[in-house]
Structure 1
Amino acid sequence: MNQKIAVVTGSNSGFGLLTTLQLAKIGFKVIATMRDPDKRVELVSQAKKIGVEQSIHVHSLEVTSEESISEFSSFLTDIGRIDVLLNNAGYAAGGFAEEVSIEEFRAQFETNLFGVIRVTQLVLPYMRKQGEGKIINMSSISGRIGFPGLSPYVSSKHALEGYSESLRLEVKPFGIDVHLLEPGSYRTNIWTSGKKITSRSLDRHSPYYFYMKAINAEIEAGKDSLGDPREVVAIVSDLVLNKRNHFRIPIGKGVRLTLLIKSILSWGILETIVLKKLRMKN
């Protein structure tokens, strides 16, 4: 089989959906995985519009379920080759650290970190045997800098960054490249239907409620400036076509500047800037 094969997790919306279409468009056979295959409607509709539906195979995969992982492993055995893995499945959990339950933290890590690890462990034997492959992990600017009210999401993405650093060093000798995409704020549903804020931080009686209101107001004010997700898709396309080979790739308006500022300024100055922007006392 000459056609290269890509696996994309969380392909029913956002970056996953758009990347699936793009990979099919440039010649890949794409295994488009999603927790609920009934949500394939938009993907299939868009694929038909650009004539790539024959290159996309939708498959059920719940990255937090051992049973689903086992079933997907059997499916991969029949395919026998994986050239690209995009670990995109994830969601954003929010709330203030005091009020987020351990169960909510654990659920965030199960998807954003352990889900990535599970799927990566499935594809690595195929890539090692081939002597080549690309693993692209969807991180976030939140994997490099913390934000108030998002500690579950931020901590899961920081963990993903550390895992990916070690993984890249471990598999590079086998011809396998690992990449981290670090998008800023884009027009995807992770900040709408994809965001889960703990109920305690939304309660008017919460000691953090005033803080949550300020953060939500800041997010609402910035909605018009959210980036076009096709920018991220274009970078994935460049990676799989070997047009670039950077490990970490920050993407989006102001992201590189934010990271530069963090590397230069002291933490004291940084927190003063953040709290002032949210009109909080320090």
Structure 2
Amino acid sequence: MSYYAASKHALEGFSESVAQELDPAWNIQITIIEPGPFRTRSFRDDAMQSSVQHPAYANPDLPGSKFREWAATNVVDGDPDKAVVVMEKLTHLDEAPMRLPLHRVAVRGGRAKATSLTETMDKYESWSEDVYCT
């Protein structure tokens, strides 16, 4: 999953950078759509194939093992046709968001990440107090 996650992070970083470089006069907006589990052709029970888990990652407490368990036991309940309606609605906004979490799993994950980042900033903010040129 790390290769998959890394490719998504690369696209997010690229999209954020391009969004900051665009001339507002061009009226081009970028939104990173962050979908949760949708029942698409590639995310069906008969289309998903899981490779054998490498023994080095087999510890059931590791995040990779937990994700494999989640993927095998959770319902993929997102309706892609309904998601397309939301995406089309997005194209009509005057001020589109930089990110659009699209599914309760994506919203929950986004909130957890925001909480974690805020906690880290609060805990280590003081470390930045004396790192400046005088």
Q: Into which bin does the TM-score normalised by the smaller protein fall? A: 0.5 to 0.7
Q: Taking every aligned residue pair, what percent have the same amino acid on both sides?
A: 27
What letter is aligned with 2:89? D
Partner residue in 1 for 2:55: 206
- Compute the RMSD of aligned alpha carbons: 3.0
Deviation of the 1:157 alpha carbon: 0.4
Q: Give the Cα–Cα distance (whole angstroms) in 1 for the partners of residues 48 and 18 of structure 2.
A: 28
1:252 aligns with 2:90: no
| Structure 1: runs of 5+ lacking an equivalent | 1-149, 268-282
| Residue-by-residue CA offset, 1:51-85 (whole Å, 9 max, x unaligned) | xxxxxxxxxxxxxxxxxxxxxxxxxxxxxxxxxxx
Name the counterpart of 1:190. Answer: 42
Q: Which protein, 1 or 2, shows the higher relative CO under an 8 Å CA cutoff with sep ≥ 6?
A: 2
| Kept in 1: contact 2:37–2:105 (CA 8 A) | no
**1:237–1:215 distance in 2 versus 1, CA, 3 Å:** closer
Aligned-pair CA distance for 1:244: 5.8
Structure 2 spans left out of the alignment, 5+ residues: 121-134
2:83, 2:96 → 1: CA distance? 15
Q: Of residues 72, 78, 81 in structure 2, which corresponds to 1:220?
A: 72
- Cα distance in 1 for partners of 2:20, 2:98 equals 11
User: Which residue in the other structure is 1:177 paired with?
Assistant: 29
Q: Distance in 2 between matches of 1:257 and 1:207?
A: 29
Distance 1:165 1:206, change over 3 A: same
Alignment-derived partner of residue 83 in structure 2: 232
2 CA distance for matches of 1:188 and 1:167?
29
Letter of the 2:10 partner, please give it: A
The reply on whether 1:153 has 2:4 as its aligned counterpart is yes
SS at match of 1:207: helix
TM-score using structure 1 length: 0.34
Match of 1:4 in 2: none
Per the alignment, residue 15 of structure 2 pairs with: 164
* Aligned-residue offset at 1:210: 5.4
Residue pair 1:227, 1:252 contacting (<8 A) in 2 also: yes
SS at match of 2:30: strand
In structure 1, what is the Cα distance between the partners aligned to 2:103 and 2:40?
13
Read off the aligned partner of 1:264 and give its amino acid letter. Answer: T
Give how far 1:242 is off. 3.5
